[in-house]
Chain A
């Protein structure tokens, strides 16, 4: 062996495959301002559309007068529901089986609802135009409080549903009722509560908030009248689904619709759904024959497209006096706003909220969810979480702390006592899931050791004593959170969107020189797929990741995929990538055997190629195999080296983690200080630790924002009072805490590379950690549960209610 022969380590390193902190491919363009986002798309003759929106939360629309608007220089058209009715698009179906007004049809049901769409030569003229459209409203009684939605005398919101006693998810109990969804064994659970030594019951609210990516929702629609083709550039987390939805509702043949999701400036669930802006821009393009751009502004984004959460969860836990949980009973009042536009798999009206048993071995559980309508914006998207999983994790993690308090037990000890044990996996939960793998005790203990949990509790005890002696006005809280996520939707047996199974896909083409391209059905919004997907392929087929180009987001070229949300990309698309790569490798093995003149079975894989067993010098690199694939394949074999995989996952994956937040709160002002935040994540096999860490930092920051103040709040008249970045809490670098990250690795047994997904774990686990820290801080003063968000004034109010100022 001469000095030039690379070592095995050098060959491995050259691949930059799985497990390495590969620097991101995307950053070369992003750091130079060369990203291509939707608003960067400019087409000849392009027009701009902008919405007239309702100032009222509930009103009848008496008239819309566009006369003055049409006189504004540059204004070409004003589209109203009447216009849309001519093409049967005044209403559109939602992902949740409901229908939604595209433009106000007779009435408005939430503040800032879309009323008319003004089309003009540029965005300035469009804005001038919307200010000249005169709309006459007749105000109607407003329903804001979800707990009053099903009162007998509650105002009727959805007149279009009059007489419909059955919705997409079964019977409706009231004119403002959307659905009731129940899971679990009610009788068994009720019996467990009857027998229990100890029970807790608490109404735990997870307030309405908003994903608010830095880039708002936007699109450019261009209809080619001659070809009859519609091209849509849009901020789409799921471009193929958008194509199918457009085909179904606009009656344009699907092959004549080209959906392109270019670079996306963050999504966090906001960009999964279909919004009136997309429909109006498409219709405007069809009507005018010109491309039409629609770009949402920030206030529109916060007030009209897709809120998240708004779950009010009455939570009951039954336990023995020793602290063993015996039953869980949860009732959720789910505020869906004016239309049920939840972005969940179609059969799951409350998403995967039935993961609410969490990481604990509950022998029985029962869950009921009532969805209701109110005069608020529609949505219900999974803001950095799998479908309704952050709500579920918050519910159970708060519940466990409340139980620990009642039992007088340490919350970490209570969790350790009730965890599903490693030997119980695959574990069948009382509410119907099969958890794939986990080692909760190890993760929890690692967290407790890393932060010196016992020492922190000791410090807290001293601080509490000092507070009671009047020596300090600061209280200290430890927020423990141990979450189990459920991601990777999902198996076709139980997951679909509008009938399309939630598989994902990858097509790989290896070129003769050993470079290649992989097209994937997922769509990055910042997750770095162009970097990590290539790493999977590099490890699988031994081609350096730098030699693999990743392409996503163009429905003409990418294989059909269900997109990126719910941490599904790695569990589903990531698996498809590995499976496609393995098909490449299988064919490559046949080619190598032929070229090396041995039997396929005589070959073994060795980092970047095949070698003959027992003859280590007889090798053929993958690069050479690529060349051979185009000139000397075995007789009877098709030339070329390409593969496609559509992956239908056999199960979800179940990432988990142990988080702790250490917080001090000044009771006089309510001002908190996050002293320390430690997050241990187990997302199975780790593809790129740098990116995982980045995802965790980002998710924790969003969790911090949500728990500590980020809220879409309405006043009694249905006005949004937190509708801009002045009042919607968006932390800056100054408020954001420092994050400590850690990990354990428990691979998924059913995933081709054992990976589970991580993007949303920190939000799911983070929110309860922050909230538990606040609640833990106040608990010694006699408090059981304080609702989120925990902003300064609410902390002060909590202190006041607990008699701190008496």
Chain B
């Protein structure tokens, strides 16, 4: 359980990091919190020749308000998110979700950029970012581009990142005033990935759901938006029959793997329940 040898690079500017990664090509990997990559390296399932540590780049850190959007630097840790008043105020669901990721030590090191960028279907932030309508800024040798989170995920560990590109920040529209939200995550224990999880952001008007977005974690090889399920609940007061229909619609798009968390059948079933519970809890929070 010792990583293979590698060369270590610690650029202090983004430009240098991009240059390094594009020059070194497939042999190089960016290093953020390292809590996914380093264990893989110890198992020698990942054997990069070069690690480009992004910790030296100040420009990648921090949370700021930009008009109606919140911009979060890729190297912002889960702990930073939890400590941020801005997040607590504008994106409380992000706070709720960050607290359900891994354990305290991992949250001090684990970054939001690493969580959304490595394409691990078990990570919590990707589905949440899709639910929140976030976009990712990707910077590479050809310049910068912004991509909606929902266009980023192509398969397990397979994303829209081009060679040499780094995900540098995440821009999230501040949630509407009075919105309701919930992230429901079923896991076996602290430190585990979700058996199934659902993110819901909605608004209510006159006792009925006005807008709604539903995201699903670890129920497919990519994060999912349950758009049909969301359509079903809009205009309803989330009565039991509607909730059932929504859960069924969400389950219809899930295709989780059978693993030690349970067979696929179970994971889909509880995926539906997470949707139901997240909807109910979100609605109760909406004003």
In the complex they form, whether A and B have CB atoms below 8 Å apart is answered with yes
Residues of chain B contacted by A791 (CB below 8 angstroms): 188, 262
Residue B177 interfacial (CB < 8 Å): no
B160 to chain A, nearest CB (A): 28
Q: Is the CB of A729 within 8 A of B189?
A: yes
In the complex formed, the residue of A with least CB distance to B260 is: A727
Contact residues on A (Cβ < 8 Å of other chain), bracket = 20 to 34
The distance from the CB of B1 to the nearest CB of chain A, in whole angstroms, is: 4
Determine the residue in chain B with the shortest Cβ distance to A126. Answer: B2
Query: Which residue in chain A gives the minimum CB-CB distance to B5?
Result: A128
Once A732-B103, A732-B191 are accepted as A-B contacts, the answer to whether A793 and B263 lie under 8 Å apart by CB is: yes
Number of interface residues of B (CB under 8 A): 23
B6 CB contacts on chain A under 8 angstroms: none
Asked if B190 contacts A299 (CB within 8 A), the reply is no
A127 at the interface (CB under 8 A from B): yes
A-B interface pairs (CB < 8 A), number? 59
For residues 49 through 79 of chain B, which have their beta carbon under 8 Å from a beta carbon of chain A? none
Contacts known (A124-B2, A127-B1); A731 close to B260, Cβ less than 8 A: no
Cβ of B186 within 8 Å of any chain A Cβ, yes or no, is yes
A730 to B267, CA, bound (A): 21
B189 & A131 in contact (Cβ 8 Å cutoff): no
Does the CB pair B2–A668 fall under 8 Å?
Answer: no
B26 at the interface (CB under 8 A from A): no
List B1-30 residues whose CB lies under 8 Å from chain A: 1-2, 4-5
Which residues of A sit under 8 angstroms from B262, Cβ to Cβ? 791-793, 796
B192 an interface residue at 8 Å Cβ cutoff? yes
A655 to B71, CA, bound (A): 63
Taking the nearest CB of chain A, how far is it from the CB of B35, in angstroms?
12
Whether the pair B189, A797 counts as a contact (CB closer than 8 A) is: no
A525 at the binding interface (Cβ < 8 Å): no
Tell whether, in the assembled complex, residue A726 and residue B192 are in contact, meaning their CB atoms are under 8 Å apart: yes
B 184-235 contacts with A by CB, 8 A: 186, 188-192, 195
Assess whether A802 is interfacial by the CB under 8 Å rule.
Answer: no
CB-defined interface of B243-287 with A at 8 Å, one 1/0 digit per residue? 000000000000000011111001101100100000000000000
By a CB distance below 8 angstroms, the chain B residues around A730 are 189
Interface centre among B2, B195, B262, B273 (most CB of A within 10 A): B2
Q: Is A717 positioned at the interface, with any CB of B under 8 Å from its CB?
A: no
Contacts of A668 in B (CB 8 A): 270, 273
A209 on the B face (CB < 8 A): no
| A709 & B188 in contact (Cβ 8 Å cutoff) | yes
B145 at the interface (CB under 8 A from A): no
Q: Is B44 an interface residue (CB 8 A)?
A: yes
Of chain B, the residue at the smallest CB distance from A122 is B2
* A13 proximal to B (CB < 8 A): no
Complex Cα distance, B2 from A297, in Å, reads 10
Q: Chain B contacts of A727 at CB under 8 A?
A: 259-260
CA gap between A735 and B269 in the complex, in Å: 23
Among candidates B44, B103, B186, B191, residue contacting A792 with C-beta atoms closer than 8 Å: B186
- Report chain B residues within 8 Å CB of A671: 186
Residues of A within 8 A of B259 (CB): 721, 727
CA distance A269 to B171 in the complex (A): 53
A124–B42 Cα gap in the complex (Å)? 11
The one of A123, A670, A793, A797 in contact with B2, judged by C-beta atoms closer than 8 angstroms, is A123
Say if the beta carbon of A113 comes within 8 Å of chain B: no
Known pairs A668-B273, A732-B191; A793 contacts B261 (CB<8 A) = yes
Closest to A736 in B: B189
Indicate whether A729 sits within 8 Å of B2 (C-beta atoms), given known contacts A721-B260, A793-B261, A793-B262. Answer: no
Contact of B190 among A131, A722, A735 (CB under 8 A): A735
Q: Which residue of B lies closest to A709 (CB)?
A: B188
Bound form: Cα–Cα A213–B144 in Å: 50
How far apart sit A113 and B266, CA to CA, in the bound complex (Å)? Answer: 33
Q: How far is the CB of B37 from chain A (nearest CB, A)?
A: 15
A331 within 8 A of B: no
Q: A127-B2, A726-B191 are in contact. List 12 more A-B contacts (CB 8 A).
A: A124-B2, A131-B44, A670-B266, A709-B188, A721-B260, A729-B189, A734-B189, A791-B188, A792-B262, A793-B262, A793-B263, A796-B270
Report the 7 A-B pairs with minimum CB-CB distance, sorted nearest first: A793-B262, A127-B2, A727-B260, A297-B1, A793-B266, A732-B190, A734-B190
Q: Which residues of A contact B (CB under 8 A)?
A: 123-124, 127-128, 131, 297-299, 668-671, 709, 713, 721-722, 725-727, 729-732, 734-735, 791-793, 796-797
